[in-house]
Amino acid sequence: MTDQTAIPAGIDLREEIDRLRKERNAVILAHYYQKPELQDLADFVGDSLELSRKAAETDADVIAFCGVKFMADTAKILSPEKIVVLPDMDAGCSLEDSCPPDKFRAFRERHPDHIALTYINCSTEVKALSDVIVTSSSAETILSQIPESQPIIFGPDRHLGGYLNRKFDRDMLLWPGVCIVHEAFSEKELLKLKAQHPDAPIAAHPECPPHIIDHADHVGSTSSILQYAKTFPGDTLIVATEPHIIHQMEKALPEKTFLGAPGADGNCNCNICPYMALNTMEKLYLCLRDLEPRIEIEEQLRLDAKKSLDKMLEMAGGTVGKGDLGDPDGD
């Protein structure tokens, strides 16, 4: 557990983080769901695929990962020689939690003719049990390279898997996991908001359940939604994903209005990812200073997990932030 009382009184955290970043030859990577102040001081902000690529390519000695644990694990799997620190080791993910490796192994064993196409939001152990990893920005490109005759298990997100099944007329077997954040959007409240802004299109992440996706004008990864925000016609956009991404939209397009899709009671905070929210400026400062908490992965497990990640990087090709899942009607 990090001792936050160890932060000297009166220090300028931003200046100290900058000093430590240079001193350590560290790169700060941040996901779009991080608090605005963390996004603003990161060297690179991106979606899961872009952050994996950055982690694999960087020549920094230290990667400070402002995201959740499966993302920092991915960085360590791809860059084992680097020190990878995560500001808060409890920054997990409900999808990862939904898929214990022993149960996933048993599921695979029950379907020996299936390959496992697995969403990156899972543990290193589950990656090691998988054939190909996908992110929401690379899933379509990768799935389209797998012959239709090949049976597939898709886990752990049943909503992303279901969306891909519907869009590409596949019948992948789905692991029953969900993201608690995207699951919390309310269709009733979304329709109320839409009635107030009838001209505003809706952009949704494919982790949303079908009753939200059905109302979306654009479905895609975080980078894809961001790209759509830069090009949609009109002046107001309804955003059905974790609301911290709106920070990037407001920076890029201050003249436009971005409305977070509502949760069950219309204005709960249930769409803020509680895991992502654990990272703070204070914890980032401490992890750069102490180089703890650090991601460590046993070497054979790392090598086993790396195979499915390498396959993703190879099959995803140039897929980065292009809005690959695009229009839900497939146009």
Q: Which residues contact 211 (CB under 8 A, 6 or more apart)?
A: 187
CB 201: neighbour CB atoms within 10 A? 18
- 273 is a contact residue toward ligand SF4 (CB under 6 A): yes
| Binding string, residues 70-109; x marks residues near ligand SF4 by CB under 6 A | -----------------------xxx--------------
> 136 vs 186, which CB is nearer to ligand 13P?
136
What's the alpha-carbon Rg for the chain, to the nearest Å? 20
Shortest CB 207 distance to ligand SF4, Å: 6
- 227 is a contact residue toward ligand 13P (CB under 6 A): no
User: Are 45 and 30 within 8 A, CB to CB?
Assistant: yes
- For residue 243, the 8-state DSSP code is G
| Residue with tokens 């992948």, as numbered in its chain | 172
CB 113: neighbour CB atoms within 10 A? 6
Provide φ and ψ at 314, rounded to 5°: -70, -45
Binding partner of residue 275 among ligand SF4, ligand 13P, none, CB cut-off 5 to 8 Å per kind: ligand SF4
From residue 124, give the alpha-carbon distance in Å to each of 61, 121, 239: 22, 10, 30
> 20 vs 33, which CB is nearer to ligand SF4?
33
129, 153, 181, 287: which one contacts ligand SF4 (CB under 6 A)?
181
Stretches 109-117, 130-138, 253-261, 263-271: which one binds ligand 13P (CB under 6 A)? Answer: 130-138
Provide the edge-to-edge strand list for the sheet that holds 257-260. 218-219, 202-204, 236-240, 257-260
- 184 is a contact residue toward ligand SF4 (CB under 6 A): no
From residue 202, give the alpha-carbon distance in Å to each of 115, 238, 293: 34, 5, 38
Binding partner of residue 222 among ligand SF4, ligand 13P, none, CB cut-off 5 to 8 Å per kind: ligand 13P
| Binding string, residues 182-211; x marks residues near ligand 13P by CB under 6 A | -----------------------x-x----
Stretches 21-29, 175-183, 215-223, 305-313: which one binds ligand SF4 (CB under 6 A)? Answer: 175-183
| Binding string, residues 89-128; x marks residues near ligand 13P by CB under 6 A | --------------------------------x-------
Binding residues for ligand 13P, rule CB under 6 A, total 11
Shortest CB 28 distance to ligand 13P, Å: 17
User: Are 224 and 298 within 8 A, CB to CB?
Assistant: no
Residues between 274 and 303 with contacts to ligand 13P, criterion CB under 6 A: none
Stretches 84-92, 133-141, 185-193, 261-269: which one binds ligand 13P (CB under 6 A)? Answer: 133-141
276, 287, 295, 312: which one contacts ligand SF4 (CB under 6 A)?
276
- 222 is a contact residue toward ligand 13P (CB under 6 A): yes
User: Are 53 and 36 within 8 A, CB to CB?
Assistant: no
Where does residue 251 fall: left (phi above 0), alpha (psi -120 to 50 degrees), or beta otherwise? alpha
Shortest CB 121 distance to ligand 13P, Å: 5
- 242 is a contact residue toward ligand SF4 (CB under 6 A): yes
Q: Which residues contact 52 (CB under 8 A, 6 or more apart)?
A: 71, 74, 75, 78, 120, 135, 309, 312, 313
For residue 237, the SS3 value is: strand
From residue 117, give the alpha-carbon distance in Å to each of 133, 143, 302: 6, 8, 18
Contact residues for ligand SF4 (CB under 6 A)? 33, 68, 93-95, 121, 179-181, 207, 242, 273, 275-276
Contact residues for ligand 13P (CB under 6 A)? 47-48, 121, 135-137, 179, 205, 207, 221-222
